[in-house]
C-alpha cells in the first residue's frame, strides 16, 4: 500500500491539476483540484461513522473493502486518461475522488485498530523505508523516459495495492465496539467535552491538506513542471529526514526542552512561513528537511506515503473517530479557502494565504494540545 501511494498519490493529483490546466487558467485549475480534494474528505467524513460501526464485524473486512476502493480509485483515473470514457475525462476524475474518499473511510478505521492492537515495529532506516522513499524518483523517471504513460503508472499502482490483500490473510482479525449511532456521531463533534480535541484535529487536517496537495503542486510549478525534479526533491527530502531524524531527537532530548509542543510549534509555523519564500529545488529540500526532522512522528503523518491518521494510528474509541472526522473537516476547509483565493485573486495569493493560514493553524493546534493536557491534569 505504501509503495503504491508513494509512487502514485502525488502524481495522480498532479495529473488532475494538469488536465484542468489544459482547459482552464492555472488559478482556476488549482481551484478545481482543491475542490476535488475536498470532495474526497467530504465523502470520508460522511462514511467514517458507518465504517466505525462495522468494527463489531471485524477489522479485516473493512480493510479488504478499503484496499479494493483504493485500487479502483487509481485504476478509474487511469482509465479516464486512457480514453475509456471518451472525452468525458471528468467522469473518471470524479470517480477517482469518490473511491479515494471511500477508501479513506473504510480502510483507515480498521487498519488503525489493527495497528494499535498488534503494534508492528518498523525501523526508519530499514531497506523498506528506503525503497518507499525512492518511489517518487522512480515514478518521475518512468514518466519522463516514457517507460509508462501516466495511465499505466496509475494502473500499476492499483495492481500493487491489490497485492496487499495477500499478506492481509496472515493478519489476525480484531473486533471492536463503536457505541454511537450515525447521527449521534456528528452530534458529538461539537459536544463541550470533545470540542478541544475536535478543533485540534481540524487544525491538523488543514496542515495535512496543505502538505499533501497544495505544497506538491507548488513544488511542481517551482521545478518547471518536471516529473523527475518533483520526484527527486521528494525522495531526497525523505532520505535526509530518515538519516537526521534520530540525531535530531537525541539533540532535542539533550537540550531538555520543558515543553516539546512549543518546540514543535516553532518548527512547523516557521517552516510554513519559509515555504512562502522558497523559489528553488534546493530551498524546497532545505525547508522540507527542516520540517520533517523537527516534527518526526507528529500526528501519525506517514510522509513518504502521503497519508495521515488520527491519534498517530490508534483508532481505539469513539473519541478518535471524532478526530478522524476532524482531520477531514480541516482538509475541506483549507481546500475551499485555497480555491476561493485562487478564483478571486491568483494562484500565488492562494498559496501565500493558505500557507500562512496553515502556520496559524499549527499554533492553534499546539494551544489546543495545552488545553487538553491542562484538563487531563485537572
Domain of 37, CATH number, reads: 1.20.1250.20
Q: What is the 3-state secondary structure (H, E, C) of 43-89?
A: HHHHHHHHHHHHHHHCHHHHHHHHHHHHHHHHHHHHHHHCCCCCCCH
> Is residue 84 a part of any domain in this protein?
yes
Q: Residue 307: beta bridge partners?
A: 302
Residue 9 has pLDDT above 80, yes or no: yes
Is 178 contained in some domain?
no
Q: What is the pLDDT of residues 112-148, one digit of tens each?
A: 767 766 665 444 457 888 889 899 999 999 999 999 9
Residue 296 lies in a domain: yes
pLDDT of 311 higher than 60? no
Q: Considering the domain boundaries, does residue 55 fall inside one?
A: yes
Query: What per-residue confidence (pLDDT) applies to 314?
Result: 41
CA 114 to chain centre: 20
Give the single-character DSSP code of 214: I
Tally of domains in the chain: 1
* pLDDT tens digit sequence for 346-358: 999 999 999 999 9
Q: What is the pTM of this model?
A: 0.90
Overall average pLDDT of the 311-316 stretch: 46
Q: Is the pLDDT of residue 23 over 80?
A: yes
**Domain span at 224:** 2-170+184-377
* Residue 265 CB burial class (10 angstroms; 0-12, 13-18, ≥19): buried
Q: Report helix angle 318-344 to 89-118, nearest 10.
A: 150
Q: What is the pLDDT of residues 29-58, one digit of tens each?
A: 999 999 999 999 999 999 988 888 877 777
Q: Give the residue-averaged pLDDT of 84-113.
A: 85
In contact, 316 and 261? CB cutoff 8 Å: no
pLDDT of residue 377: 40
State the Cα–Cα distance between residues 182 and 82, nearest whole angstrom: 39
Average pLDDT value for residue range 317-336: 87
In a domain, 284, yes or no: yes
**Grid cell at residue 291:** 520540517
C-alpha cell at 281: 529545488
Please give the span between the terminal C-alpha atoms of the chain, in angstroms, as a whole number. Answer: 42
Q: Is residue 175 part of a domain?
A: no
Residue given cell 502556520 in the structure block: 359
Q: What is the mean pLDDT of residues 220-234?
A: 95
Highest mean pLDDT among 191-195, 308-312, 373-377: 191-195
Lowest mean pLDDT among 74-88, 168-182, 255-269, 303-317: 303-317
Task: Tell me whether residue 177 is in a domain.
Answer: no
Partners of residue 308 on adjacent β-strands: 301
CB 125 within 8 A of CB 132: no
Percent over 90 (pLDDT), the chain: 50
Residue 247 lies in a domain: yes
Range list of H helices, 119-226:
127-144, 150-163, 165-168, 182-188, 195-209, 215-222
What is the predicted pLDDT for the residue at 177? 76
Task: Give the pLDDT confidence of 155-192 residue by residue, as tens digits.
Answer: 999 999 999 999 988 888 877 777 788 888 888 887 88
| pLDDT at residue 341 greater than cutoff 90 | yes
Amino acid at each position: 500500500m505504501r509503495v503504491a501511494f508513494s509512487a502514485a498519490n502525488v502524481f495522480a493529483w498532479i495529473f488532475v491539476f494538469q488536465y484542468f490546466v489544459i482547459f482552464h487558467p492555472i488559478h482556476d485549475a488549482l481551484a478545481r483540484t482543491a475542490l476535488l480534494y475536498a470532495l474526497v474528505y467530504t465523502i470520508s467524513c460522511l462514511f467514517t461513522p458507518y465504517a466505525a460501526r462495522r468494527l463489531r464485524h471485524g477489522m479485516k473486512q473493512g480493510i479488504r473493502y478499503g484496499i479494493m476502493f483504493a485500487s479502483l480509485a487509481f485504476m478509474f483515473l487511469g482509465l479516464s486518461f486512457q480514453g475509456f470514457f471518451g472525452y468525458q475525462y471528468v467522469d473518471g476524475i470524479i470517480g477517482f475522488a469518490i473511491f479515494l474518499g471511500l477508501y479513506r473511510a473504510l480502510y483507515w478505521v480498521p487498519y488503525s485498530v489493527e495497528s494499535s492492537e498488534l503494534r508492528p515495529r518498523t525501523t526508519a532506516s530499514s531497506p523498506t523505508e528506503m525503497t518507499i522513499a525512492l518511489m517518487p524518483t522512480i515514478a518521475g523517471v518512468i514518466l519522463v523516459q516514457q517507460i509508462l504513460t501516466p495511465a499505466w503508472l496509475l494502473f500499476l499502482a492499483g495492481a500493487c495495492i491489490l497485492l496487499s490483500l495477500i499478506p492481509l490473510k496472515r493478519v489476525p482479525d480484531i473486533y471492536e465496539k463503536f457505541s454511537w449511532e450515525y447521527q449521534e456521531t456528528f452530534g458529538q463533534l461539537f459536544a463541550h467535552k470533545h470540542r478541544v480535541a475536535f478543533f485540534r484535529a481540524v487544525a491538523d487536517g488543514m496542515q495535512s491538506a496543505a502538505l499533501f496537495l497544495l505544497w506538491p503542486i507548488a513544488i511542481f510549478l517551482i521545478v518547471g513542471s518536471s516529473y523527475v525534479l518533483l520526484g527527486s526533491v521528494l525522495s531526497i527530502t525523505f532520505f535526509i529526514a530518515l538519516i537526521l531524524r534520530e540525531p535530531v531527537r537525541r539533540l532535542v532530548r539533550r537540550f531538555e526542552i520543558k515543553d516539546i509542543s512549543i518546540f514543535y510549534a516553532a518548527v512547523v509555523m516557521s517552516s510554513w512561513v519559509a515555504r512562502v519564500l522558497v523559489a528553488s529545488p534546493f530551498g524546497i529540500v532545505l525547508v522540507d528537511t527542516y520540517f520533517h526532522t523537527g516534527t518526526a512522528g507528529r500526528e501519525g503523518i506517514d510522509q513518504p506515503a502521503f497519508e495521515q491518521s488520527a491519534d498517530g494510528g490508534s483508532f481505539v474509541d469513539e473519541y478518535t473517530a471524532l478526530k478522524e472526522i476532524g482531520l477531514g473537516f480541516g482538509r475541506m476547509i483549507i481546500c475551499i479557502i485555497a480555491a476561493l483565493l485562487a478564483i478571486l485573486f491568483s494562484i500565488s495569493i492562494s498559496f501565500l494565504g493558505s500557507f500562512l493560514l496553515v502556520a496559524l493553524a499549527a499554533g492553534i493546534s499546539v494551544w489546543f494540545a495545552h488545553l487538553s493536557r491542562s484538563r487531563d491534569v485537572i
